[in-house]
Amino acid sequence: MTDRLTSRDGEPLSGKKEAYHHGNLKAALIDLAERLIETGGFENLTMQSLTEGVGVQPSAAYRHFRSREFLLRSLAKRNFDRWNEEIGALIGQTPPMQRADAFIRFFFRSALAQPQMFRLMFVSEYGRDPRSIEGMMSFLTFEAALAQLVARQDEETVRARLLSSWAAIHGAALLLIEGRLQRFYVGDMDTDDLIEHIIATQIRSSK
């Protein structure tokens, strides 16, 4: 068996394109991938399940995504872009001293709404591409929001508070979506109470 030869953008180099009638196939594939990931996790996504789901031959899909890994990176990027747009709009209409609180509530709400997408974006290798600025924007937005509260503190203290708070919200979100915050850990707090507790301990204590 020979490997498929592709150009850098994933196009086959055979010179012959397969005809299909599916409208915007690239969008259809990535939309279906997002739905399948949310029901089965990104680990179980296959190109075969995608092409069968939209009713095309695998060769048609590979014109747009040269590999499963490339598709997952594209999907993570698309959702980071979506997150960054939404959080940017939210931050823009929130008073400076309340932006860190708003960011945390958005972060948890988004993680709980799409837990498997959260894992793809913030846990998997596909969302941790060091070359991707999209994946860094959430951290940078939180950094700017927290800076409003600790502007008078020295740089080392600010950095320590930032990393501590980021680790707390990231870790708590992951534990929540994985169902690992049993009653033993959070007592009688429901999810909203837990989020407000994190805000109180990590953000308001910084003021």
- Cα dihedral 105, 160, 131, 104, rounded to 10, equals 0
pTM of the model: 0.79
Q: Give 69-89 pLDDT, tens digit per residue.
A: 999 999 999 999 999 999 999
- For residues 134 and 46, membership in a common domain is answered with no
CATH number at residue 43: 1.10.10
Task: Tell me how many domains the chain contains.
Answer: 2
Residues in the chain: 207
CATH number at residue 94: 1.10.357
Q: How far is CA 135 from its chain centroid?
A: 8
pLDDT-based confidence at 8, cuts 50/70/90? very low
- For residues 77 and 127, membership in a common domain is answered with yes
**Which whole number is the average pLDDT over 140-161?**
80
Structure tokens at 35: 């739905």
Rounded distance between C-alpha atoms, residue 181 and residue 166, angstroms: 18
Q: How far is CA 175 from its chain centroid?
A: 16
Range of the domain at 192: 72-206
Q: Give 88-119 pLDDT, tens digit per residue.
A: 999 999 998 899 999 999 999 999 999 999 99
